[in-house]
Structure 1
Amino acid sequence: MKNKTGDRVSEKEIQKASDVHLLDYLQTKGEGLIQQGKYFRHAEHDSLVIRNDGKWFWNSRGEGGHGPISFARAFYNLSFQDAVRDVNQLSIDKTLTDDLKKASEQGFIYPKQYEADTQKHVRRYLVQERKIDPRLVDSLIKNGYLAEDQRKNCVFKWRDSKGDIVGADRQGTIRTSNGTFKQIAADSKEDGGFRVDVGTPNQIALFESPIDAISYYELFQLQNIRLQSMSGLKDRTANTAIKELIQECHARDERVEKVIFAVDNDEAGKGFAQRWKSLLTQADIHVPIHKDWNVDLQKRKEQQKKKEPVYEMER
């Protein structure tokens, strides 16, 4: 958008844009956000932090402000007038900040009302883009671990030992120039995460994301294992998850056979896994060949496709 000489916006337009919460604006724009406590970090620019009160700080640039107008000017390089118009032209329904307010008042309550009637975008994204077996995706949906919300995001539900939903990861299915939307639902259990039990678990594998967890399962098909996402590298989540499995195994007069750290193949992941291995006698480290387990899964399927025979039509 380019301004003409004398371009103006009215006070009413400015006020309307100013009343929009920055988090709602960014979610509607499709920006990837990762929630960390009471603030959000941009998925592609980790020094860009947005607080629940609408203030933002871009630490690497030494910039900051409040609300969507100042953010749009800095992030999208818009003039003041075009920033106001960009905010006002969107249909914003305050889904994100409504969730934050409700959750902060009542503890975590899963927003069932925001689930969509279809799972087609989730299926397309996970099966076609992430190359996960459609039978696995359908099983997660059927058993209440995966859903689609009204913004076409994947919702990975965190269930505890009782089956109660104690949190959720939201993963965007639509790519923008800044990646895909990512968020941990407000007031999710601090030491919780997405987890799925295969059989009766006597071992546990820890991952950085739900998609890595289910990709790992498809790659190795291990039995009697708990697949646990930490939604990052979180000592508290790892500690709680391991302790819970120890207690469950003890109640069955069994012991935990193995703790597998299957985090990303980067310096942060390697450091996290090595530190935990030094603390546990039954710990193993399983490193993906590429950056993470989903990339490994995609690469394997690419190789399998290349090996498929090509049949020529008889003439």
Structure 2
Amino acid sequence: MSKEEIQKASDVHILDYLNSKGESVMKQGKYYRHADHDSLIINENGKWYWNSRSEGGHGSISFARSFYDLSFQDAVRDVNGLSIVRDYTRDVNKEEAKVFQYPSQYEVATQKNIRQYLVNERMIDKRLVDSLIKNDFVVEDKLKNCVFKWKNSEGEIIGADRQGTVKMDTKRGYFKQILANSKEDGGFRVDVGTPNKIALFESPIDAISYYELKKPENIRLQSMSGLKDQTATTAIKELIRECHQRDQSLEIVILAVDNDQAGKTFTERWRDLLKNTEHHKPELKDWNLDLQKRKKEKVMKKEREIEMER
């Protein structure tokens, strides 16, 4: 292990390392919190601390050793072996670095990889995927990622989710990332008709899958990219304001997050806060798994019918 190799790995910002590994982090003030381990805090200066384990350190190498249980040498190799996307820099504290700028230069004209992933692997209807691409909600980037654009009511891009389409050897299986400096209380959203209802989801793919399963009308499908109270609050307030401008009122808030303990806790908290809520719970863990199950059952039923005709 040469000094040059160690220095190269040391120069990689921990947030860039996390994003390149497909680990999702959420910005909270001057700090970042790991989406799956909320006691794991990362500072903009590169320091990190995992409260539940009473462990901490500085930089990508120490983090890789602790989080992935690697030796020092393997941690250096892991950091250096990635195609690091340098969305974060050493001057993250500069104000201009905090302004979201959508990296349109990374977009490609093809949709081959995202179509294959969304239609064949996630089993989302091809016509729905075509519509999302046509209306510039979903694009493919140079790294074959599926990019879900966050747009506000004026159509401005205020953030984005990146979803990998190629399997990775990580706990998550696929690369996942929220683009640096995305609006903290923003998220991917799609309006169906003239919305007087809003449904909250944990991911863009869950929102799309729910739509295909339920075919709701006059609704805003809002992803929070996790379970973010701030995003839920802003999204509900914005739709209330838009409804008032049309001399309407917000009819219902649909809580449609994952069917797990975290989703249950989120749902119970928001049902206590709001009166006009409905809880739509997926049968399996999330809406996309429900969609895949339905599609597979249809295929099996058709195969049985063909077999019986023979």
Whole-angstrom distance in 2 between the partners of 1:173 and 1:262: 24
Counterpart of 2:7? 15
Structure 1 residue aligned with 2:298: 304
State the AA in 1 paired with 2:22: E
CA deviation after TM superposition for structure 1 residue 309, in Å: 3.4
Task: Say whether 1:219 aligns with 2:210.
Answer: no
Residues 176-217 of structure 1: CA deviation (Å, up to 9, x unaligned): 231123222222222221110111112111111111111000
Q: Which range moved further: 200-209 or 147-156? A: 147-156
Report the counterpart of residue 203 of structure 2 in structure 1: 209
Q: Please say if residues 46 and 58 of structure 2, whose CA atoms lie closer than 8 Å, have aligned partners that are also in contact.
A: yes
Query: What does 1:141-152 correspond to in 2, within 5 Å?
Result: 141-152=133-144
Separation in structure 1 between the aligned mates of residue 293 and residue 95 of structure 2, nearest angstrom = 40
Deviates most, 254-263 or 138-147? 254-263
Confirm or deny that 1:189 pairs with 2:183.
yes
Compute the TM-score of the two structures, normalised by the length of structure 2: 0.85
| 2:27 is equivalent to residue 36 of structure 1 | yes
Q: CA RMSD of the aligned region, Å?
A: 2.8
Give a deviation string over 1:95-126, Cα, whole Å, max 9, x none.
Answer: 32259959853522211112233222222222
Question: Cα 1:117–1:41, aligned 2, differ >3 Å: closer, same or farther?
Answer: farther
Structure 2: which 5+ runs fail to align? none
- Residue in structure 2 matched with residue 277 of structure 1 by the alignment: 271
Task: Name the structure 1 match of 2:280.
Answer: 286
Match of 1:3 in 2: none
In the other structure, the counterpart of 1:123 is 115
Q: Deviations over 1:218-257 (max 9, x none)?
A: 0011111111112222222222222222222222222223
Aligned partner of 2:75 among 71, 83, 88: 83
User: Equivalent of 2:55, from 49, 63, 71?
Assistant: 63
Instruction: Give the whole-Å Cα distance in 2 for the aligned partners of 1:134 and 1:103.
Output: 42
Q: Which moved more, 1:234-243 or 1:34-43?
A: 34-43
Identical-pair percentage: 65
The answer on whether the counterparts of 2:26 and 2:35 sit within 8 Å (CA) in structure 1 is no
Corresponding residue SS for 1:188: coil
Cα distance in 2 for residues equivalent to 1:52 and 1:126: 34
Matched with 2:249 is: 255
Of 255, 265, 274 in structure 1, the residue corresponding to residue 259 of structure 2 is 265
Give TM-score scaled by structure 1 length: 0.84
Distance (Å, rounded) in 1 between the aligned partners of 2:269 and 2:78: 47
Code of the aligned partner of 1:140: L
Of 164, 170, 174, the residue aligned with 1:177 is 170
